[in-house]
Amino acid sequence: MDALRIIASLVVPWVLGIAVLLVVLPRPRDGVSAGEPVWLLGAGYTVGAFLLTCWMRALSLAHVRFGALVVAAPIVAAAAVLLWVRHRRYGADGLGHFGRMVRTLRTPSPDRLLRIVWWLLIAWMAVRFVLLGIEITLRPLYPWDAWIQWATKARVWYALGYMAPFGRADAWLSANGALYFDASPEYPPTMPLLQVWTCLMLGRWDDSLMNWPWWMLLLSLVLAIYGALQRLGVGAWSSLVAAMLAATLPLADVHVALAGYADMPMAVYYTIAVLALLRWNMTRTTSDALAAILLAIACTQIKNPGIVWALTLVPGLIVILLPQKGVRVVAALFGLAVLGLAVLAQTEPVIFNYRLHLDFNPAWAALGETLFLLDNWHLLWYAVIAVAIVAWRQLLSPALVPVTMIGAAGVLFLFVVFGFTNARIWVSDQTTINRAVLHFAPVALVFAVLAFDAFARRWWSRHAPPPASPEIVSEPQAAA
């Protein structure tokens, strides 16, 4: 029975998200991309889960006590209405479109051996997800941040049935019981609300099973990467390998097996927001624009640094909207950012509990060890650097420049955090750096795959042998 309840807790927001993206998805005129249904499945859960937490916030503001039926019934009704609207808009072809998209999924090779390899890779990822699911089911809530700043809110809100306010110690002491306290009361409520939602569907508080949304978010990331890359022109095999690499990032898997931290969800929402923006650059559909906007907003509601991560999408949007001058505009903005760092030499503002001051003293040894020596990322950062070098001619091409600018903004953000703030203290003892880098790692993987694909296409176009021309056979001369 618990398994059915968990499945229902994952399916309800999933269906809502798919319906939201489908209702504004135009009917294709020139066939269906093989990755389109996979993209909808991946992005659908992230969109639906965020909208579900927004609905729970609205219920709390309206002083309606949380309950499984109270939360789920309007969500299911909304999904049904959206699917009905699509059906009405396109007639019998409305929902059949999604069915035809699903039928496009097939092994991309007629060769029997390659088909076996294809399904073995998928089976290998499936086994990995099964093992992660077992870890979530059996392992109690992991300590430290999961205990003191995320699950604290979930436990209180589940018990009370509404979002009771949290505050710092001084406010808690002076509130005389009208306020709750944890380590980070200013953090957004999205992830605790997903834990509350899972417990509502279970019908009890369970600090292990409530973490199944973490498993679902990693699955969403894998599906979205595969589907989006195919739509962006990457081949099926390369897209599958990219999805497999995302599923096997060691630290991402750790954050699923030891679920309860918000860093892996932050990475998922940010990466799929980037992918939605890249898709919109190609398709210009309302569905992709809506996904990019909703997921960028969701980034700000996962963790406070998500505000900055959402802003790193702006350089990519600029070069999309200003194809002629966008690169120069972004370069000017980066120059202003460097100027801002110089201004900070004379000031000491505090943002998100980070003291911003131009006291450049990064822990280079710890940074190098984390990114290139420890087994947190396998060979990801070696690959990103190598691909950026070999594909440097394509980095500013129209198809690649948005993700290049987004990646540059992300690197600049991490450089500022670990070079000019008190976060470098946590770099030295390896407590924060990997969690911060995790936010950016899947986007770096997407950049590497797209850049290498662009390089490979250019190289092949220059070095591929010309097609053989048919022999010209002259007609026999007529006999004199």
The residue-averaged pLDDT of 6-29 equals 91
List the structure tokens of 428.
């030295």
Q: Which ranges of 302-400 would DSSP assign to H, the alpha helix?
A: 306-311, 313-321, 326-343, 364-368, 380-390
Look at residue 423 and tell me whether its pLDDT is greater than 80: no
Please tell me the distance from the alpha carbon of residue 125 to that of residue 103, in angstroms, as a whole number.
21
For 206-221, how does the pLDDT look when each residue is reduced to its tens digit (9 = 90+)?
999 999 999 999 999 9
- For the chain, what is the mean pLDDT? 87
Q: Is 450 exposed, middle or buried (0-12, 13-18, 19+ CB in 10 A)?
A: buried
pLDDT at 177: 72
First-to-last CA distance in the chain? 95
- How confident is the model at residue 97, as a pLDDT? 54
Structure tokens at 202: 């279970």
Residue 12 has pLDDT above 90, yes or no: yes
**Segment 123-163, tens digit of pLDDT:** 999 999 999 999 999 999 988 889 899 999 999 999 999 99
The model's confidence at residue 479, banded by pLDDT at 50, 70 and 90, is very low
Percent of the chain at pLDDT exceeding 90: 62
pTM (two decimals): 0.91
Task: For residue 348, give every residue at least 6 positions away whose Cβ sits within 8 Å of its Cβ, in sequence order, or none.
Answer: 355, 356, 357
b/e map of 131-147 (b: 16 or more CB within 10 Å)? ebbebbbeeebbeebbb
158-164's contacts with Cβ under 8 Å and 24+ in sequence apart are: 158/66, 158/195, 158/196, 158/199, 158/200, 158/205, 159/205, 161/65, 161/66, 161/67, 162/59, 162/60, 162/63, 162/64, 162/65, 162/66, 163/56, 163/57, 163/60, 163/189, 163/193
Show me where the domains of the chain are located.
2-271, 304-460
Contact 340, 354 (CB under 8 A): no
Question: Which whole number is the average pLDDT over 106-111?
Answer: 67
Q: Is the pLDDT of residue 301 over 80?
A: yes
Determine which of 67-76, 137-146, 313-322 has the lowest per-residue pLDDT on average. Answer: 137-146
